[in-house]
Amino acid sequence: MRRQLILTVAAVVVACAPKPQPAPVIAPAAVAPKPAAVSAEALVDHTGDSPETAVTVPADAPNEGIDFQNHWIFDRFGRFRRTGGGIAHAGESSAMRRYEVVKIELPDHSQHTVFFDITENEKTWDSQRKQ
């Protein structure tokens, strides 16, 4: 009887033992294409660095756009001091654009030149003068 009991227990243990499962197949991860290398120079924001990237001053900017310019320069560079500047133009007849060129110095004594497109401001000023 003891032998029969041992065989029964052994049969139950064998029957209850977990069946070996096949190893899961792991699909190779989709390899995302590598982004093209970008130079550090390409990541630099050049807004205002030239007439082509000049910052457009809104036509309704108060104080002839000076406040707008000062706020824009401060937001981009921090503390600054105007060291010079002037008015420039590019293009011909109806395509002519007017720019205010502002030279600034930062606390680290670095010099920068910022271009502001004031074409729309000048149109507004001209129309106000004619009234």
Is 29 inside a domain boundary? Answer: no
CB 112 within 8 A of CB 77: yes
Residue spans of alpha helices (H) in the chain: 2-16, 40-43, 66-77, 119-130
- Is beta strand 97-105 parallel, antiparallel or unpaired with respect to 81-90? antiparallel
pTM of the complete model: 0.62
| pLDDT recorded at residue 131 | 57
* Most confident region among 9-13, 38-42, 79-83, 97-101 by mean pLDDT: 79-83
| pLDDT recorded at residue 125 | 59
Q: What is the three-class DSSP state of 104?
A: strand
| pLDDT recorded at residue 107 | 95
With residues binned 3-state (H G I as helix, E B as strand, rest as coil), the percentages for the chain, rounded to 5, are: 40, 20, 40
* Domains: count for the chain: 1
Is 64 inside a domain boundary? Answer: yes
Spatial distance between the Cα atoms of 31 and 36, rounded to a whole number of angstroms: 15
CB 111 within 8 A of CB 103: yes
Task: Provide the mean pLDDT of the chain.
Answer: 81
Is 77 inside a domain boundary? Answer: yes
Is 23 inside a domain boundary? Answer: no
Is 10 inside a domain boundary? Answer: no
Is 119 inside a domain boundary? Answer: yes
Is 5 inside a domain boundary? Answer: no
Tens of pLDDT, residue by residue over 38-77, are 777 777 777 888 888 899 999 888 888 899 999 999 999 9
| For residue 12, pLDDT beyond 70 | no
| For residue 130, pLDDT beyond 80 | no
Is 17 inside a domain boundary? Answer: no
CB 120 within 8 A of CB 59: yes
Full residue range of the structural domain in which residue 78 is found: 47-130
Count of H-run helices and E-run strands, the chain: 4, 4
With the C-alpha atoms ordered 23, 28, 29, 30, is the resulting torsion angle positive or negative? negative
